[in-house]
Structure 1
Amino acid sequence: MQRKYSIITGFMGKVQDRFIDYQPVRPMEEMVEMASRVKGCSGLEVVYPQNFTNAKKLKELLDAYHLGVSTVNLNVKGDVMWRYGSFSNPDPEIRKEAVNAMKRAMDCAGELNCGVVTCALLNDGVDYPFETDYLDAFQYTLDGIREAAEYRRDIKISLEYKQSEPRIHCLLNNAGKMAYFTQMTGKDNVGVTLDFGHALQALEVPADSASFLGQTNRLFYIHINDNFRNWDWDMVPGTVNFWDYIEFALALKKVNYNGWITADVFPQRHDPVKIMEKTFEWMDYIFDIADRIDEKKLKEMQTELKTFEILDYIRSLI
């Protein structure tokens, strides 16, 4: 499979948690320059409107550093107006603005020649029982995404799911619901961003999620990171769930995923350039192992239920 690695621009700048600011604020040009020094990085996931509003100027900047754009990330969670949701917000004016923001992001994606807008509707959900009408929330979101998808059929909308954060219960929170939701839109240009760490947090098997979404032709985009399944820690991929990552890489190969693979890794206590390089080094190692797997041999052992023979075989490739 083709490997195209990118970085979320914001992770080259200020990152913070509830307690500490870990990296300084950096202007866009400095973040782009830093990304250009990351070995293996071919592009950036750029966040709209926080990173940029003028796509033409951004493209000139990226071209100067020979970087492409993996996707435009529409941020409808970081501003106070989205605190009660975006596409599912009870206020029709805010829902309208969410749709318009998606349309603007789609236009930017067209100007940047990337063809994909990714969006995580993480403020769409609830914290307490009876806080929302789930039927309304689902329908509002469906209507809004459908309207945006009709606006430009040449641009894909890739929705990222997550179990929780900042909402305790996010509305779109697992691979199965996402596949159903995207098919409910009736639009071929609506699909799913699969974040490895979010799949872990939802207690999914990432290879299963990738296979399922790939089989439904709704797997549009990939975020890589790792965690201990207790929180979305955004660690370097493979450092915790190494076996899962090999299986995940094989699954991507089997569903012929050829899109971008983007580092969603939090460099709080490490140099951002070095940690992104380590991310791509680990992914290359993982993909190389997956490429050496004899799929015919593996299939035969699976058919014969030779579990530990399978594990011993994979272990021999490491």
Structure 2
Amino acid sequence: MKLAFSSNAYLKHPFDETAARIAAIGYEGLELLADVPHAWPAGLLEGPKRAIREAMAANNLAFSNINAFMMNAVADHRQPYWHPSFIEPDPNYARVRIDHTRRALDLCAELGAPHVTTEPGGPIPPGVSRARAVDRFVEALKPLAEHAEGLGVLLLIEPEPELLLERTDQYVEIHERVGSKALGLNFDVGHAFCMSEDLPKAIAELAHLTKHYHLEDIAATRVHHHLVPGDGVIDFAEVVSAIKATGYDGWLTVELYPFQDDPDDAARRAFEALSPLVR
């Protein structure tokens, strides 16, 4: 297994500087944010794409993932990460999320990254049943999964508290209904902890569907707020041991977007806490 760091903590820095800082700390991989200011797919020209590739090569970094969850470029006043969602009441607004995901998949293939992560359906709209919301989500995912399959990349769903899929095991129904080998689970350890999941048990049971992991710590309150590993109460020795036991040999990406004022400190402390466990 290898450690990566998400560029979404470096929104106050240009991408070339972000890559250099992440590599200098010791990470082997970088998760590219498919959003402003680093790589908003709808406005990303060939020159900036080339600059991203050059920055990655210059710093000997590999792409761990393309993060298409956040949509700060749209700047929805309700929540810029969750909206627009796949299940918005307005189908034209939902189409913004769908088209963004398709573009992110194209970018993933162009850059040679392994997969794209996205939101798990968004908040259930008022007056909509959970069953209907799941139907809408599945309907949106089927053509996207087919597109990913054609490109030779994966589309990963990331369960999150307060959204349609909150628990990791809720992904199973979506996986079965979409029925695509290009669809997978992004297992966010902090999110699962917030939902009081038994982490070693969930990691073992979902291993056959999990293609990537996000790591962050969470306080004892289980409130969804990302902390640097070691600052909360998650037992990362237990978590990493459980992941190793599944035979997983991919990326563990640290995601600490709340630390934009001093991302280097957060990235460094996370690396110091996790790298001995991963080795």
In structure 2, the CA distance between the partners of 1:240 and 1:252, relative to structure 1 (3 Å rule), is same
In structure 2, the CA distance between the partners of 1:81 and 1:279, relative to structure 1 (3 Å rule), is closer
Does the residue aligned with 2:134 lie in a helix, a strand or coil?
helix
In structure 2, the CA distance between the partners of 1:11 and 1:80, relative to structure 1 (3 Å rule), is closer
Residues 177-216 of structure 1: pairs in structure 2 closer than 5 A: 177-214=170-207
Shift of 1:148: 0.3
Does the residue aligned with 1:152 lie in a helix, a strand or coil?
helix
TM-score (norm 1): 0.75
Q: Distance in 1 between matches of 2:187 and 2:3?
A: 15
Q: Distance in 2 between matches of 1:137 and 1:76?
A: 20
Larger relative contact order, structure 1 or 2 (CA cutoff 8 Å, min sep 6):
2
2:60 maps to: 66
1:105 maps to: 104
Does the residue aligned with 1:37 lie in a helix, a strand or coil?
helix
Does the residue aligned with 1:262 lie in a helix, a strand or coil?
strand
Residues 135-146 of structure 1: pairs in structure 2 closer than 5 A: 135-146=131-142
Q: Distance in 2 between matches of 1:7 and 1:109?
A: 17
Shift of 1:268: 3.5
Does the residue aligned with 2:28 lie in a helix, a strand or coil?
strand
Does the residue aligned with 1:125 lie in a helix, a strand or coil?
coil
**Structure 2 runs not aligned, ≥5 long:** none
1:299 maps to: none
1:17 maps to: none
In structure 2, the CA distance between the partners of 1:255 and 1:177, relative to structure 1 (3 Å rule), is same
Match of 2:13 among 6, 13, 26: 26
Q: Distance in 2 between matches of 1:287 and 1:29?
A: 27
1:44 maps to: 30
Q: Distance in 2 between matches of 1:65 and 1:255?
A: 30
1:237 aligns with 2:229: yes
Number of aligned pairs? 263
Verify the 8 A CA contact 1:124 1:171 in the aligned structure 2.
yes
1:10 maps to: 8
**Counterpart residue identity of residue 219, structure 1:** T
Q: Distance in 2 between matches of 1:58 and 1:97?
A: 24
Verify the 8 A CA contact 1:5 1:42 in the aligned structure 2.
yes
Q: Distance in 1 between matches of 2:61 and 2:218?
A: 28
Does the residue aligned with 1:284 lie in a helix, a strand or coil?
helix
1:89 maps to: 88
In structure 2, the CA distance between the partners of 1:269 and 1:149, relative to structure 1 (3 Å rule), is closer
Identity of aligned residues (%): 21
Match of 2:241 among 250, 262, 270: 250
Shift of 1:56: 3.4
TM-score (norm 2): 0.85
Q: Distance in 1 between matches of 2:122 and 2:175?
A: 19
Greater C-alpha Rg: 1
